[in-house]
């Protein structure tokens, strides 16, 4: 059974700090998606990584897919209150969205 | 462009009552999904429809039925609600291409259901 473990579960930081959250598995995935979910809303896709070692940047957010395609990290530089939310990772295999494996998420609070 | 629209936003049911959650997407996506989200359990797939005319069970289908009414609409029915079905329900849609990597999911804003 494929599992995705996210850490930390909760994170509360001050505005301007940097942080990294992790998404780890013992299984190989063909792709890894990161979503952010704000209170009262559905998850929204941030990025998809598909190549081992791939690094993608989205403004202050940097996503990395592990060389072995078993893990991923999300680094936020100079966090802002607007970054507050639940960060979810989802691992998948080619052409099979039904089999997306979801992590439980990291709940991030950025305090002004 | 509305994306994925879910109705209702909130619902309270008594045990044994039935209801249908509605979902519509305007992105011409082939695939649609119903998830439930519970604290400590994360997102769990209830049912999915790869394309119009097909439906398939997900991880937690018991107590639910679905209908893919047309390409745009995918409804979820609770025939006899139970307190264990208290949850937040999300509908999502995506493109579907069997030979490609996973297409991103586009989620609605959820239905918050309480069964007493």
Closest chain A residue to the Cα of B48, Cα to Cα: A98
Instruction: Quote the pLDDT of residue A100.
Output: 86
Q: State how beta strands A19-24 and A31-37 pair.
A: unpaired
The per-residue pLDDT for range A49-69, each reduced to its tens digit, is: 999 999 999 999 999 999 999
* Residues A107 and A44: beta-carbon distance below 8 Å: no
Instruction: Quote the pLDDT of residue B50.
Output: 86
Interface of B with A (CB under 8 A): 4, 31, 33, 40-45, 48, 50, 56, 58, 90, 92, 94, 96-110
* Residues A75 and A61: beta-carbon distance below 8 Å: yes
Q: Which region, left, alpha or beta, applies to residue A9 given φ > 0 means left and ψ of -120 to 50 means alpha?
A: alpha
Residue B68, CA distances (Å) to B11, B52, B74 in order: 22, 6, 4
Alpha-carbon distance B80 to B98, whole Å? 35
Annotate B95-113 with DSSP letters as a single string.
---TTSSPPPPEE---EEE
Q: What is the pLDDT along chain A (112 residues), one digit of tens a residue?
A: 678 999 999 999 999 999 999 999 999 998 899 999 999 999 999 999 999 999 999 999 999 999 999 999 999 999 999 999 999 999 987 656 667 899 999 999 999 9
């Amino acid at each position: 059974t494929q599992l995705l473990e996210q850490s930390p579960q909760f994170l509360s930081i001050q505005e301007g700090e940097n942080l990294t959250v992790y998404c780890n598995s013992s299984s190989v995935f063909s792709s890894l998606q990161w979503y952010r979910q704000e209170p009262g809303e559905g998850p929204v896709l941030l990025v998809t990584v598909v190549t081992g070692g791939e690094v993608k940047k989205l403004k202050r957010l940097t996503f990395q897919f592990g060389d072995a395609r078993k893990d991923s990290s999300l680094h936020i530089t100079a966090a802002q209150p607007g970054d507050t939310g639940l960060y979810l990772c989802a691992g998948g295999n080619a052409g099979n969205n039904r089999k997306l494996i979801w992590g439980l998420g990291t709940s991030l609070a950025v305090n002004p | 462009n509305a994306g994925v629209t879910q109705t209702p936003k909130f619902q309270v049911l008594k045990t044994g009552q039935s209801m249908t959650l509605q979902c519509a997407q305007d992105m011409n996506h082939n695939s649609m999904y119903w998830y439930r989200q519970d604290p400590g359990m994360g997102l769990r797939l209830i049912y999915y429809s790869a394309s119009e005319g097909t439906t398939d069970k997900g991880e937690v289908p018991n107590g639910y039925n679905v209908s893919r009414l047309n390409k745009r609409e995918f409804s979820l029915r609770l025939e006899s609600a139970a307190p264990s079905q208290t949850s937040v329900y999300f509908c999502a849609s995506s493109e579907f291409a069997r030979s490609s990597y996973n297409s991103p999911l586009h989620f609605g804003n959820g239905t918050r259901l309480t069964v007493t």
